[in-house]
Chain A
Amino acid sequence: MPSENTPSPAGTPAESTETRAAGAELIRFERVSKRFGDNVVLDNLEFSVDAGKHVTLIGPSGSGKTTILRLLMTLLKPDEGEIVVDGDHLFHERRGDKLVPAGERHVREVRKKIGMVFQQFNLFPNMRVLRNITEAPVHVLGMPKDEAEQRARELLDLVGLTEHMDKYPVQLSGGQQQRVAIARALAMRPQVLLLDEVTSALDPELVAGVLDVLRDIAHTTDITMLCVTHEMGFARDISDTVLMFNEGRVIESGSPEKMFNDPDNERTREFLSAVL
């Protein structure tokens, strides 16, 4: 268990990103099931992701890929099973020697290690770009405002939007908004970045700019990425592992070379020949 090397004194959760040994298991799904009514979206799902790895989830729509990200972000609760993040249960906490349903505070602590970028950006329209990025570092991590703004500027520089920091989201293009959303997620220094079809809502000519930023992040940081995408070229570029989903289960996984060139599973082959 990696839990013993993650002391998290209040106020310094950001530090653990750097100290985490690459290669150790960071996320584990333990027999996770999720149903919406009669519709079984995830069925006893088991898989794990090692720290620093980039994992892409592919598969037909409705196969449960987005549900996985939403469970990890605690936007949904599993019906059965548990998710372990960096050695901590996400939906339960230890009280004495018993595991009880996690309280708000526990969930918050574990969740701080995870950041998410949404299909619809979900920037806060009532805040300027800079404050979109500084809001959480200041009010969640307790970072001084100056420091948070300094860091926000660096991140805006990374995503190429420094000159737009005083604008409101509505004044930006979709691609620019999504790059702000990426900066906003990174400002929390998460260990894991969840990317939920981040280019699906964009006009085609804006997709490349967003993917370039993500490629850059994937290649220059040691952040762990979990990515649901229909951009197979991008998946091939950044992924260490590709997981093929069908009907709530992983039916095949492997390196992008293997998965895109010579998949074993018939269903994978069918899916890829339809989207490539």
Chain B
Amino acid sequence: MNWDWSVVEDFMPSFWDGVLVTLQALALGSLIAFALGLVWAMAQRSHRKWISWPVTAVTEFIRNTPLLVQLFFLFYVVPTFGPSMSPLVTGVIGLGLHYSTYTAEVYRAGIDGVPVGQWEAATALSLPRRRTWTSVILPQAIRRVIPALGNYVVAMLKDSPMIAVIGAFEMLGEARAFSNLTFTFEAYTVVGIAFILIAYPASLLLRALERRLAQ
């Protein structure tokens, strides 16, 4: 095997395109996962069965089917009866939706971890239910689950190449297209290194955050 730096150089323009798509998918997917997960977690705690039950069923279904299947479904099946979306938008929604079912569990653990005395104090002060959530329970719950949420961002980063199958060419998709065209292999190595360069510092950051929040 010969390593050719000029191949790496040729790959760079499409590599940066891929990096951009990866980071967009990751950022927007995380936003969806964080927001939707919280909605799921709170809906599952609802006393109204007609809210909690369907939400539980849907999140269990999503969590227990492969992301790849969900991406194909969103990209090929949904447009037959609903909106058709660009590959990147579909990928973002797919990643966000899939991971929201995991973040929902994280939020649930965080909410359960808030001492019952906090609910009791809120009741004793007659705080309205919504206010109890927004100013007492969630600030405490979310603080303690930030590291766990962060772990899912790293996991999502590692799952992001899947969106290439529906045509959203992130880093790996670009590398594959480039390599097939040029009969070279350097691009894959570059992408592998790029993943480490993003994921490892992120993990370190999370660990530091975890230590800080534990104090």
- A interface residues (Cβ-Cβ under 8 A, vs B): 73-75, 104, 108, 111-112, 114-116, 118, 120, 122-127, 135-136, 139-140, 184-185, 188
Contact = CB atoms under 8 A, between A and B. Distances in A.
B143 A126 contact: yes
A140 B123 contact: no
A124 to B, nearest CB: 5
Contacts of B136: 124, 126
Contacts of A127: 135
Contacts of B115: 120, 122
Nearest to A108: B126
A125 B139 CA distance: 10
Interface string B102-144: 0000000000000101101101111111010001100110010
Given A120-B115, A122-B115, 9 more contacts: A73-B120, A115-B124, A116-B124, A124-B121, A124-B136, A135-B135, A140-B127, A140-B128, A184-B125
Contacts of A188: 125-126
25 contacts: A75-B120, A104-B129, A108-B126, A111-B123, A112-B126, A115-B124, A115-B125, A118-B121, A120-B115, A122-B117, A122-B118, A122-B120, A122-B121, A124-B121, A124-B136, A126-B139, A136-B125, A136-B127, A139-B128, A139-B131, A140-B127, A140-B128, A185-B124, A188-B125, A188-B126
Interface of B: 115, 117-118, 120-121, 123-129, 131, 135-136, 139-140, 143
Contacts of A73: 120, 123-124
Majority secondary structure of chain B interface residues (helix, strand, loop or mixed): helix
A122 to B, nearest CB: 4
B140 A125 contact: yes
Interface hub of B120, B123, B125, B127 (most chain A Cβ within 10 A):
B125
Contacts of A124: 118, 121, 135-136
Contacts of A112: 126
A75 B143 CA distance: 26
Q: In the A-B complex, list the 6 residue pairs whose CB atoms are closest, starting with the nearest.
A: A136-B125, A122-B121, A122-B117, A116-B124, A126-B139, A140-B126
A118 B120 contact: yes
Given A124-B136, A125-B140, A111 B126 contact: yes
Contacts of B128: 139-140
Given A125-B140, A126-B136, A135 B120 contact: no
Contacts of A115: 124-125
B117 to A, nearest CB: 4
B205 to A, nearest CB: 23
A165 B144 CA distance: 25
A116 B121 CA distance: 8
Interface hub of A74, A75, A115, A122 (most chain B Cβ within 10 A):
A122
B119 to A, nearest CB: 9
Nearest to A194: B124
Nearest to B120: A75
B214 to A, nearest CB: 13
A75 B118 contact: no
Contact of B140 (A74, A108, A126, A139): A126
Nearest to B124: A116
B171 to A, nearest CB: 39
A123 B121 contact: yes
Contacts of B127: 135-136, 139-140
Nearest to A184: B125
Nearest to B131: A139
Contacts of B125: 115, 135-136, 140, 184-185, 188
A52 to B, nearest CB: 21
A122 B136 CA distance: 11
Nearest to B134: A139
Contacts of A123: 121
Contacts of B117: 118, 120, 122
A111 B128 CA distance: 12
Nearest to B139: A126
B113 to A, nearest CB: 13
Contacts of B121: 118, 122-124
A136 B129 CA distance: 12
B122 to A, nearest CB: 8
A185 B124 CA distance: 8
Contacts of B118: 122, 124
